[in-house]
Amino acid sequence: MSMPHPSCAIRATRAALVGGTARPPGPARSRQRGLTLVEIMVSVVIVGILTAVAIPGYQDYIRRAARSDAQLTLQQVSSWLERRYAECNSYIRINAASNPPCTEVLAASDLPAELKRSPSGSGGGTKRYDVTISSLAAQSYTLQAVPVDSNDKCGTFELTSVGVRSVTGPLGNDNCWRR
């Protein structure tokens, strides 16, 4: 006669002490465990609420970062133009005959390719702003960063040769140029 396994004897003893019956060993004794429909629905609702709060905040963060990139690109274009002005004493290089390094005439469309978009550079990610020289004269210029996404509340950023900053959107200069 074979002896029962010691763990079976312990379970039988415990069951007898608490007034129950011992469960047989093996697969029949294990109960399936899982999540109820209510638990799953509560989890889905919690994830939905977190998503509803997180996505607008993330989109706002991306817009602010794109605005900062546009401002940086405008500053880079301004620096590029100021270097040309220091060389030629003119933004459009009209004195080419008297100053040999200033032989080419600069037009509003002559920006280097890497400065025509924001983020700047060829590998800078998704283009968020088109950068242009909206007005160019011998002694002044106006730069614009026009958003590709027309829903941007700051609108077009402008920077002049004397450092005047403005935007065309309803948020105004204080909210848009601060970042």
Please name the residues in contact with 46: beta carbons below 8 A apart, sequence gap of 6 or more: none
Q: What is the pLDDT of residues 142-164, one digit of tens each?
A: 999 999 877 788 899 999 999 99
Q: What is the pLDDT of residue 138?
A: 80
Highest mean pLDDT range out of 36-50, 52-66, 81-95, 146-160?
36-50
Q: 138, 94 in Cβ contact below 8 A? A: yes
Q: Scanning the structure block, which residue is given the tokens 């030629």?
A: 88
Q: 177, 167 in Cβ contact below 8 A? A: yes
Q: What is the pLDDT of residues 10-39, one digit of tens each?
A: 665 555 555 555 555 555 555 668 889 999
Q: What is the pLDDT of residue 84?
A: 82
Spatial distance between the Cα atoms of 97 and 31, rounded to a whole number of angstroms: 94
Give DSSP secondary structure letters for 40-55.
Answer: HHHHHHHHHHHHHHHH
CA atoms within 13 A on the CB side of 35: 8
Q: What is the pLDDT of residue 158?
A: 95
Mean pLDDT of 114-138: 77
Q: What is the pLDDT of residue 175?
A: 86
- DSSP-derived secondary structure letter, 109: T
Q: What is the pLDDT of residue 18?
A: 56
Give DSSP secondary structure letters for 21-88.
Answer: -PPPSSGGGPPP----HHHHHHHHHHHHHHHHHHHHHHHHHHHHHHHHHHHHHHHHHHHHHHHHHHHH
Spatial distance between the Cα atoms of 2 and 166, rounded to a whole number of angstroms: 93
Q: Any idea which fold 37-176 has? A: Glycoprotein, Type 4 Pilin (3.30.700)
Please name the residues in contact with 63: beta carbons below 8 A apart, sequence gap of 6 or more: 152
The pTM score is: 0.67
Segments making up each domain of the chain, as ranges: 37-176
Q: How far is CA 150 from CA 155, 159, 169, in A?
A: 7, 20, 10
